[in-house]
Amino acid sequence: MQLFYTSNPNATILEDDEFFHCTKVLRNRENDNIFLTDGRGNLFESKILKIKKNHCVIKKLKKIKTIKKNNTNHVVCSIIKSQNRLEWMIEKLTEIGIDEITFISTKYSERSNINYKRIDKKIISALKQCKSLFKPKVNELISLNEFLKNEYKKSNKYVADISSKIEMKKNNNNENSLILVGPEGDFSKEELEILNKKGYQGISLGNQVLRSETAALISGYLLVSK
């Protein structure tokens, strides 16, 4: 199944990157059936009616499948210095099924800006590649202090801590879960103390010292596999 993305379930045209991918890369032609997702658990079927220079006209979308999730898994990661490594991390978190991603700035963060447009393209490409019907929500960069003003009372709350020997417990499938991952210099002692006071349990990701993007990916996998 070839899968395409649309943010509008009422769309009757396919344009920009999706048009190019559909007609130029995959060489779909008029009267071909195509499948689309809105990234919210819905799968639609349509047909290409007319291919024009910069877009194609498609038949009104017909919903053929809806998947519901009972919980959300949220990875909160300190900003990564390399845009390429950050994009790789985003792609992989999308592939394993993470629902929400937040970037935070911490004491040892090495960057203060993110190219969200490129990130969005990487996410769409990844969800189409793995045939996922869910597009992760990506939040804008925020300081750790600002993030901690939010209350997640009904969530399993973890923080990746290289000094911890505790493994992540098995979560209830109906409970939301989130995990914080620090920069390669780790969270400061003061930051970890604040997180512990806020109810975040320190957990181990293994014996190796990991890069931030690797730690974020392992953290995400632990959330979805629990």
Domain ranges of the chain: 3-66, 73-225
CATH T-level assignment (fold) for domain 3-66: Ribosomal Protein L25; Chain P (2.40.240)
pLDDT tens by residue, 198-220 = 999 999 888 888 888 999 999 99
* Antiparallel, parallel or unpaired: β 155-160 and 55-58: unpaired
Please state which CATH number belongs to domain 73-225: 3.40.1280.10
User: What is the pTM for the complete model shown?
Assistant: 0.89
Q: What is the pLDDT of residue 170?
A: 65
Q: Which helix (H) or strand (E) covers residue 179, if one does?
A: strand 176-181
Q: Which residue has the tokens 């991952």?
A: 181
Round to whole Å and give the CA distance between 173 and 186. 29
Range from 54-63, 84-93, 101-110 carrying the lowest mean pLDDT: 101-110
pLDDT tens by residue, 104-143 = 998 888 777 888 999 999 999 999 999 999 999 999 899 9
